[in-house]
A and B are shown apart, each in its own frame.
Chain A
Amino acid sequence: MTAITQEAAVAVAAPPRRRAARKRIQGAPALFLAPFALLFTVFFLVPIGYAIYESLYRVHVSGLGLGPTGTVFAGFANYTQALSSSGFVSGLERVLLFGVVQIPVMLVFATLLAMLLDSAAARFQRFFRPAFFLPYGIPGVIASILWSFLYLPGLSPIVSGLKTMGFGSVNFLGVHTVLWSIANIVTWEYTGYNMLIIYAGLQAIPKELYEAARMDGASEWKIATRVKLPMVFSSVVLTAVFSIIGTLQLFSEPQVLRAVTTNISSTFTPNLDAYTQAFTANNPNEAAAIAVILAVGTFILSFGFLRLTSRRGGLGR
């Protein structure tokens, strides 16, 4: 290669040429970074900027919609409109309620499973671990389609099974139950994935720690709660942050279930609302405002959660 012979020449040549080589090293990080940086700018930073810009403007229609249209600066009008519309607010409340219930349930479930798999008492780990992880390999849309069949009376073996067991006809798609049916889909999809993160944390704990605890007379329960749990705390925090981000974005599951039930409105979650505003209501400006509110909300919640827990976790570490 010519590059190599050149470099070799540089190595034996006079000092000025060596300086040239150093200069090339200085240029290298820029070249390595450039492709990513360019795409990151175009597909991350510019859209964020554009969303903020769009959210501050509004289409102005004059003369009964027949006259010329133009955009006018609207300040925070799109934001106040979104935040005062009952659809958006109830959608936001709905995902918050969903998160407050579903995230702890799923993470406790995942932590318990990880601990059970990690414990000496568990058998057939080689079968159970992949079995629990399998749903994560199924994309959200397909998982939702699958579960929508399992919720549908006439098709679902679960509905008919519950009936023969004497529970009557359970309606998974009712006004009050459909949110929790969605929670079940999300739990089914992500428990195994979260379990794997926590399990990885458990496996990294040096086994001498357990030995030492046992020597001190700690029971298995004490070891689980006083040694294992604090040690995997940072893994659980990681799963919680991923879950918070995911919950606020809730979209595919309710969107898919709309095919089988009328109890999911077009503003069921904030993201559904944004989608409706942009494509059905033809109001991209308010949709942009909703996207910005969601992104900022996600950022504040996940970052706040990290700050909160890192202070607590700092003591344990």
Chain B
Amino acid sequence: MLAESTVRPERDPAPLSRTRSGRRPGPVYTKGSILTTAILFVVGIYFLLPAWWLVVSSTKGPSSLYSSEGLWFGHFDLWRNLTGLFTYNGDIYLRWLLNTVLYAGVGALLATALSAAAGFALAKYEFRGRELIFSIILGGVLVPATALALPLYLLMSKVHLTDTYWSVFLPSIVSPFGVYLARIYASASVPDELLEAARLDGAGEFRTFVSIAARIMSPALVTIFLFQFVAIWNNFFLPLVMLSNQRLYPVTLGLYSWNDQYGQAPQLVSYVIIGALVSVIPLVIAFLSLQRFWRSGLTAGSVKL
């Protein structure tokens, strides 16, 4: 992939600069490096401690949650928590997970496709009003999602679309930031000559876009997908105002509703904790393994700003 080849070379500057600054080759444990590592270690504890607590607590039942040492294992109840989580109130938790995949996964996929096409059009064709359209879309980047949610709710309730999948799904597939990234990337990396050559070879515009431009743009498309995925998955306000039927909830809203009720049903504390862990694990893995796409996309974005 393109990002790999462009990001990789700058990825490991350490060996080079180490010999430069340390004069002696090989790892040198200077005062500075020990201090730096110590600081990073302490900061690492700050970032990882809550995650550690989550892992440890998900193995405890409601009673040992309060009685045992918070940062270490108590009575081991992981399996009971897991079966409880997936059977409480029918299969509601599984439903929430699937809904999340639908909203965030499919939503981000569609958003990426729409953004790619729009960004490509704005980058590679000359037409009247192009800059105006781009400016309006760019303005959309600065419009906060929560400011849109309320008027959207009011509008959707007029057409009786609230409390449906569509009410959360459709607004989620619009990503002005995605169009912005796609345009920057397309104008920088898709050569006009290549498009011209494809046209001369008789390929239609749509085919040129799908089989040539989109392929070159693929690193940017991964970044757009990631951004939109997180944006949808993090957008709590929209499903909160739109949905009242529990079976349509994404997992975040579901866990929030349990968290609000555990005063009445104590076992829910354990389910909130294990539910949070289960929902977060696949995401964290995907996140960490796709880190380089964040960086490449973010550099593209900040260079233009």
Contact A142 B40 (CB under 8 A): no
Distance of A51 from chain B, by nearest CB (Å): 4
Task: Give the total of A residues in contact with B, Cβ under 8 Å.
Answer: 118
Distance between A192 CB and nearest chain B CB, rounded to angstroms = 7
Residues of B within 8 A of A42 (CB): 170
Cβ of B16 to closest chain A Cβ, rounded Å: 7
Residue of B nearest to A43 (CB): B171
- Is B98's beta carbon under 8 Å from chain A? no
Known: A121-B30, A142-B280. A43 touches B174 (CB 8 A): yes
Determine the chain B residues whose CB is within 8 A of the CB of A248 once the complex forms.
Answer: 144
> Is B90 in contact with chain A by the CB < 8 A criterion?
no
Across the interface, B146 reaches (CB within 8 A) one of A120, A188, A251, A299, namely A251
Docked CA distance A160–B11 (Å): 42
- Measured between beta carbons, the chain A residues less than 8 angstroms from B171 are 43
Q: Is B222 an interface residue (CB 8 A)?
A: no
Say if the beta carbon of B86 comes within 8 Å of chain A.
Answer: no
Residues of A within 8 A of B280 (CB): 137-139, 142
- Per the bound structure, the CA–CA distance linking A46 and B140 in Å amounts to 12
The answer to whether B142 touches A288, judged by C-beta atoms less than 8 angstroms apart, is no
Determine which of B144, B174, B234, B284 lies in contact with A40 in the assembled complex, contact meaning CB atoms within 8 Å: B174
Q: Indicate the size class of the contact surface on chain B.
A: 35 or more
Interchain nearest-CB distance for B211 vs A (Å)? 12
Q: Render A92-131 as a binary contact track against B, CB cut-off 8 A, 1 for contact.
A: 0000000000000000000001001111111111011111
B238-291 residues with Cβ-Cβ distance < 8 A to A are 240-241, 252-253, 255-256, 259-260, 272-273, 276, 279-280, 283-284, 286-288, 291
User: Is A180 engaged at the interface, CB distance under 8 Å to the other chain?
Assistant: no
Give the distance to chain B from A105, nearest Cβ to Cβ, in Å. 13
Q: Does B2 contact A (CB under 8 A)?
A: no
Bound complex: CA of A140 vs CA of B240, how far in Å? 14
Q: What chain B residues lie within 8 Å of A33 (beta carbons)?
A: 117-118, 121-122, 133
Q: Check if A35 sits within 8 Å of B114, measured CB to CB.
A: yes
Report B15-36 residues with CB < 8 Å from chain A CB. Answer: 16-18, 20-22, 27, 30, 32-33, 35-36
- Please name all residues of chain A whose beta carbon is closer than 8 Å to the beta carbon of B71 when the two chains form the complex: 157
* Residues on B with beta carbons closer than 8 Å to the beta carbon of A245: 142, 144
Contacts of B140 in A (CB 8 A): 40, 44
Q: Which residues of B contact A288 (CB under 8 A)?
A: 150-151, 154
- Chain B, Cβ-Cβ closest to A298: B144
Beyond A145-B256, A302-B142, whether A238 also contacts B295 by CB under 8 A is no
A130: contacting residue among B204, B209, B288, CB under 8 A: B288
Q: Contacts A3-B204, A37-B118; is A32 near B209 (CB within 8 Å)?
A: yes
A11 to B196, CA, bound (A): 13
Residues in B neighbouring A133, C-beta threshold 8 A: 287-288, 291, 294
CA distance A203 to B302 in the complex (A): 13
**3 nearest A-B residue pairs (beta carbon):** A157-B70, A32-B121, A7-B202
Given A113-B40, A157-B53: 15 more A-B contacts, CB < 8 Å: A1-B207, A5-B202, A32-B118, A37-B118, A43-B174, A120-B21, A122-B33, A124-B40, A141-B252, A142-B276, A145-B256, A196-B298, A234-B302, A249-B146, A288-B150
